[in-house]
Structure 1
Amino acid sequence: MNTEPTRTSPRPVQVGVVGVGAMGENHARVYSELRSVDLVGVTDHDVDVARQVAAEYGTECLDIDSLLDRCDAVTVAVPTHAHYETVSRCLEAGVHVLVEKPIAETIEQGRTMAKLAQNAGVVLQVGHIERFNPAVQTVGDLIDDLDVISIEAERLGPPIDRSAPGNVVFDLMVHDVDIVASLLEDDPESISAMGTEDSRYATATMGYGDVVATVTASRVTQKKVRKLTVTARECLVEVDYLEQSVLIHRDSYPEYLIDDGQRRYRHESVVERPRVDNGEPLRHELESFVETVRSGSEPVVTAEDGIAALETVQRIDALVSGEEPPRRREREREVEI
């Protein structure tokens, strides 16, 4: 479909959601609130769930072929094992796609999807939502001026559904793997990792030249933590994803004082709180996706970014599992399909 706006009255982008589980329903909710789009329908293998979501957000429950016929763009929020088939179907229909992370089950599938999008002339964006967290974006603006030594990320806490299976490396750690790569604009040269046999806790250390990054993901920690710490020669930057806050610690001065004849220790530092324009990361993500569809520009999180994150977490998971990790490969732009 043509999504070129007119100068006087931009036509709303026609969007849909494929897969309306917990994440997909949130996409439907946000799309229904955006003035620049029309949510024309949702689809899901569970028709009853799709009908409920459609009724909740004032749209229609459609089969996937009917949805693709009406849409300029869709979110694909089906289980990862169905990403390749579903996304390929959308791209071949000439529809722009935002696919939830990870991009696919395998690197080969991801590269084929990227080539399909290129051939069809449509956008393929990967849903690494933390890129759109205002606190992370604030750090991204700062980091070019810092001499970074290390980055540490923690993504801890029990799942909402305590019976939920899944692997923390692919489900949780992938977020911070992508954030570190985006901040350093590179892929890791070396990786070491350890974790539990049940895949509910893992920690990895990655080398990026002179920078060391450590990422930890856990579903056994009984406190929800989402934090990022950047250690630089000039300062220490602390990011709280949940609070959407950034603290910059500078000029730390330890000293001893004499108080009533007693020797006391004091440690002071200058703490800066840069302004963070708070907002819902998902809303920022979908607004960016829609604008990319309109303009034909490159998405903030490209298919290559999603493939690189998948390759890194595959290497981490192999180390945690005690398997031989796949060798690191240079990012490739072309595949035969």
Structure 2
Amino acid sequence: MTDQPPLRIGVIGAGSMGENHARVYSELRTVDLVGVADRNREVARRVAAEYGTDAVEFETLLDRCDAVTVAVPTHAHADVVSRCLEADLDVLVEKPIAGTVEEGRALAELARERDRVLQVGHIERFNPAVGMLEELVDDLEIIGVEAERLGPPINRDAPGNVVFDLMIHDVDVVGAVLDREPTSISAIGAADGRYATATMEYDDVVATLTASRVTQKKVRKLTVTARECLVEVDYLEQSVLIYRDSYPEYLTDDGQNRYRHESVVERPRIGTGEPLRHELESFVEAVRTGSEPEVTAEDGVRALETVQAIDSRLDRRRQREVNAR
């Protein structure tokens, strides 16, 4: 492995996410960042100069690379990713995998036909706290899951669908943790689509997910209720707390009876690090070995199917509200 030449990787799409991919690739010793392409040539030149590579045209980049990150707007995923796969490149595409489930399935099939790696950029899978949760769940009888992904946008006028942009992260994590698809879905929204809550049943497990762009505090948490314990995951802190053996206790203080609950709280030691770096290292390893990526195209399609179902229920509810006016 150590005597292999660096993997030649390019970045297509030099927006904020693409720039971060370029940054991390430039830091990896096993990668040669061979170029950045973007429809905005000035943006491509700026990012390329920052990370010591070239700003090149799309077709030129395809000829230089072994693999690429695709970080273009979602509506362009199907076209750009398919052209990369047809050029026999391995691809990491930012989430969601495509604009529609049909497009996502077509990309997954094309990757299989071309025998190429197609990894989907569901970055929370590479959060060390989620890794610890995945180690724990095999020993748990899970009853319910709650997720909160809240906060104001960096640009308060930023467009985008809160379900596809934010909730999809937790949809993917919950699907991976439970290793199944939901059997029923309901959803409700507010604040002109900037706040949404979805409730899903996974056989005997209930999951409630909330995403918001109007909450004046940034929150990224997931809580798993199991018969054995309660597990709290903080994505931002990259921490996990396990609450066990909660029991009531009555105390007497100056003749007054007080009631409290005591719990045994475990704080497992987990690794740290930037999830994006872990994600790109995993992609490089999959390309090097030809192995299945950590987040497959099929995983990406499953997450997209779920968020499309959630959004369709919100659309129906919004339409009913409009008709009732």
Range into which the TM-score falls when normalised by the shorter chain? over 0.9
> Following the alignment from structure 2 to structure 1, what is the Cα–Cα distance between the partners of residues 158 and 42?
22
- Native 8 Å contact 2:67 2:90 kept in 1: yes
CA deviation vs aligned residue, 1:16-54 (integer Å, no higher than 9, x gap) = 000010000000000000011100000000000000000
CA distance in 1: counterparts of 2:193 and 2:160, whole angstroms: 8
Give the aligned partner of residue 208 of structure 1: 202
Instruction: Indicate the larger mover: 175-184 or 252-261.
Output: 252-261
Equivalences for 1:32-181 in 2 at 5 Å? 32-181=26-175
Alpha carbons 1:95, 1:122 under 8 Å: kept? yes
Quick check: which one's helix share is greater?
Answer: 2
User: What is the alpha-carbon distance in structure 2 between the residues aligned to residue 234 and residue 41 of structure 1?
Assistant: 51
* Alpha-carbon distance between aligned partners in 1 of 2:190 and 2:255, rounded to the nearest angstrom: 52
**Offset from partner CA, 1:261-281 (integer Å, 9 cap, x none):** 221222211100001101100
Give the aligned partner of residue 262 of structure 1.
256
1:44-67 Cα offsets, whole Å, 9 max, x none, are 000000000000000000101111
More displaced stretch, 286-295 vs 257-266: 257-266
Question: Per-residue deviation at 1:118?
Answer: 1.1
Counterparts of 1:109 and 1:28, CA distance in 2: 26
Residues 188, 317 of structure 2: 8 Å contact kept:
no
Q: Does residue 9 in structure 1 map to residue 3 in structure 2?
A: yes
1:42 maps to a residue whose letter is: V
Q: What SS class does the counterpart of residue 243 from structure 1 fall into?
A: coil
Q: Which segment drifts farther, 249-258 or 221-230?
A: 249-258
- Once the two structures are TM-superposed, the CA of residue 196 in structure 1 deviates from its matched residue by 2.1
Q: Secondary structure at the match of 2:171?
A: helix
CA distance in 2, matches of 1:264, 1:199: 44
Number of the residue aligned with 1:288: 282
Q: Which amino acid aligns with 2:144?
A: S
Are 2:149 and 2:210, in contact at CA under 8 Å, matched by a contact in 1?
A: yes
Q: In 2, Cα distance between the equivalents of 1:145 and 1:169?
A: 31
Partner of residue 27, structure 1: 21
Residue ranges of structure 1 left out of the alignment (5+ in a row): 325-337
* 1:75-99 per-position Cα deviation (integer Å, ceiling 9, x unaligned): 0000000000000110000000000
Q: Are the counterparts in 1 of residues 7 and 32 from structure 2 also a CA contact under 8 Å?
A: yes
Q: Spell out structure 1 runs of 4+ moving beyond 4 A.
A: none
| Alignment of 1:244 onto 2:231 | no
Native 8 Å contact 2:33 2:53 kept in 1: yes
Distance 2:233 2:260 in 1: 25
Give, in angstroms, the shift of residue 128 of structure 1: 0.3
Paired letter, 1:30: V
**Paired residues, what number?**
318
Could you tell me how far apart the structure 1 residues matched to 2:163 and 2:138 are? 28
1:36 and 1:223 map into 2 onto residues whose CA distance is: 38
Deviations, residues 129-148 of structure 1 (Å, cap 9, x unaligned): 00000001100000010010
Letter in 1 for 2:146: E
Partner of 1:221: 215
Give the share of equivalent positions with the same residue, in percent. Answer: 72
> Aligned partners of 2:180 and 2:230: how far apart in 1?
21
The unaligned stretches of length 5 or more in structure 2 are 319-325
Whether the 8 Å contact between 2:151 and 2:213 is mirrored in structure 1 is yes
Whole-Å separation in 2 of the counterparts to 1:197 and 1:282:
31
Kept after mapping to 2: 8 A contact 1:197/1:321: no
Deviates more, 1:191-200 or 1:17-26: 191-200
AA partner of residue 38 (structure 1)? D
Partner of 1:309: 303
- Give the partner amino acid of 1:114: A
User: Is 2:270 aligned against 1:300?
Assistant: no
Return the alpha-carbon distance in structure 2 between the equivalents of residues 296 and 199 of structure 1. 41
Match of 1:327 in 2: none
Q: Does 1:195 align with 2:189?
A: yes
Tell me how far apart the structure 1 counterparts of residues 317 and 144 of structure 2 sit (CA, whole Å): 27
Distance in 2 separating the partners of 1:191 and 1:162: 29
Letter in 2 for 1:120: R
Shift of 1:323: 6.5
CA displacement 1:183-202 (0-9 Å, x = unmatched): 00001000010002621010
Residues 1:182 and 2:176 are matched in the alignment: yes
* One-letter amino acid matched to 1:312: T
